Amino acid sequence: MQYNSVTDYFSQLHLRSLIIFFASLLLFFVLLYLILTQNLTPVMLENGEIISYAFIAFAFMDASMAFMLVKWMLKSVVPLVSLGERMDRYAQVSLLRFGMLVSGALLLMVALYLSGDYRLALAYGVYLLFFLRAWPTRSRLCAELKLKENEREVVYGR
């Protein structure tokens, strides 16, 4: 990702994160609308509750794995010397985390399509909190990259 300043870096990172987030959200609402208006009928109405719980569990395990994988990947980014290189790699890892979170959201959408269980909308709403937890901010970047005080000043623009 090319950037001219830290402000430009975060605006590009936020824009890409927003696109990923809202694409997932829009797809879920379209699917829910189609099911509610009965333009799309769920595939399996029997045993829908079991399918719902299984997919909810898989989605939340996917989110947990996303956070663990990112933590593991950041261990190789922290020792890099250049702050610009670390920030560039952090952007890639952050977007990967969002991609993995979208895969969990897609699992919830598949479960909604298969079972037609409306409780999945509530599970999806709770799942959106993982996106908030993963949102790339200046303080999160500083904490996850374990930046020194002078590097923090660069990031915060002091």
Amino acid 155 reads V
- The count of domains in the chain is 1
Give a yes or no: residue 151 inside a domain: yes
Give a yes or no: residue 1 inside a domain: no
Give a yes or no: residue 145 inside a domain: yes
pLDDT in tens, 45-70: 676 688 888 999 999 999 999 999 99
Q: Read off the pLDDT of each residue in 98-126 and give the average, rounded to a whole number.
A: 91
Give a yes or no: residue 77 inside a domain: yes
By the 8 A CB rule, do 42 and 113 touch? Answer: yes
Give a yes or no: residue 36 inside a domain: yes
**Domain span holding position 106:** 6-156
pLDDT in tens, 80-96: 888 889 999 999 999 99
CA distance 104 to 69: 14
Number of other CB atoms surrounding residue 2 within 10 Å: 7
CA distance 88 to 77: 10
Q: Mark out the alpha helices in 37-158 (DSSP H runs).
A: 48-77, 83-115, 119-134, 138-145, 149-156
User: pTM of the predicted model, to two decimals?
Assistant: 0.86
Grade residue 6 by pLDDT with cuts at 50, 70 and 90.
Answer: confident
Give a yes or no: residue 80 inside a domain: yes
